[in-house]
Amino acid sequence: MHMVTVMQQGVWAVLLLPYLLTVSIPLDCREEQGSLSRCPSISQEKLLDRVIQHAELIYRVSEESCSLFEQMFIPFPLQLQRNQAGYACITKALPIPSSKGEIQQISDKWLLHSVLMLVQSWIEPLVYLQTSLDRYDAAPDMLLNKTKWVSEKLISLEQGVVVLIKKMLDEGMLTATRSEQGLFQYDVQPEMLESVMRDYTLLSCFKKDAHKMETFLKLLKCRQTDLYNCA
């Protein structure tokens, strides 16, 4: 059994390698003092491309993380139980367009602000997820490292989107501020099974929202180049 686990981790390491190599090309909108200065020096087009690249990688790695978590901790009956129980995603209450028709009709400004809302809503839950996964007896380093990687890249994405809003919408230098009372509430540590299901829900919901971020940003890019043929 141990040999199978080691082999699985080896396979995941090979699959993830192309994504981890991109860590050497960060979005990097912050200097040591935390001020935004590097991204404003990049052209709007290049910044949007770089933000999209970050969103793509975050979604892909979140997808791999969710699949790995399922293989390690979620038997198929529990996957069905989660679907039937109707676990709600923490961003469900946000005014984010969901249908294709709604997405097509919203403005560029609302696309960008929707991405920013999603990004900022997930920063704290991903920190919680890292803490929760650390308590697992059998959590592979691959899963822990990927969760940490996504959490760090999400902060870089937040900084990039903030500067993009300034460049595209001329709204002045926004700061990456977040609500003091987030959507995610830290309750008493649940029992192990409940904790596993909650973490699985977080991973699954984040994967969906990461895909939304990527979709919104690509639609925005399309509108800059081919306004009348963006699907």
Domains of the chain and CATH, by start: 42-74+102-177+206-230 (1.20.1250.10)
Mean pLDDT along residues 128-143: 90
Mean pLDDT along residues 6-24: 37
Mean pLDDT along residues 160-164: 92
pLDDT digits (tens, 9 = 90+) for 210-230: 999 999 999 999 988 876 678
Mean pLDDT along residues 34-52: 76
Bigger pLDDT: 136 vs 81: 136
Q: Is residue 188 classed as helix, strand or coil in its secondary structure?
A: coil
pLDDT for residue 213: 97
pLDDT digits (tens, 9 = 90+) for 83-110: 545 568 899 889 998 888 888 888 889 9
Work out the burial of residue 19: count CB atoms within 10 Å of its CB; fewer than 13 is exposed, 13-18 middle, 19 or more buried: middle
pLDDT at 154 over 90: yes
Which residues have a Cβ under 8 Å from the Cβ of 116 and sit 6 or more positions away?
A: 158, 161, 162, 165
Give the H or E element holding residue 157.
helix 141-169
Mean pLDDT along residues 138-166: 92
Give the confidence band of 79 by pLDDT, cuts at 50, 70, 90: low
pLDDT for residue 221: 92
pLDDT at 5 over 80: no
Average pLDDT along the chain: 77
pLDDT at 6 over 50: no
pLDDT digits (tens, 9 = 90+) for 164-209: 998 887 765 444 455 444 555 555 455 777 888 889 999 999 999 9
Residue 103: count of CB within 10 angstroms of its CB: 17
pLDDT for residue 128: 92
Say which DSSP state 87 is in. Answer: P
pLDDT for residue 40: 67
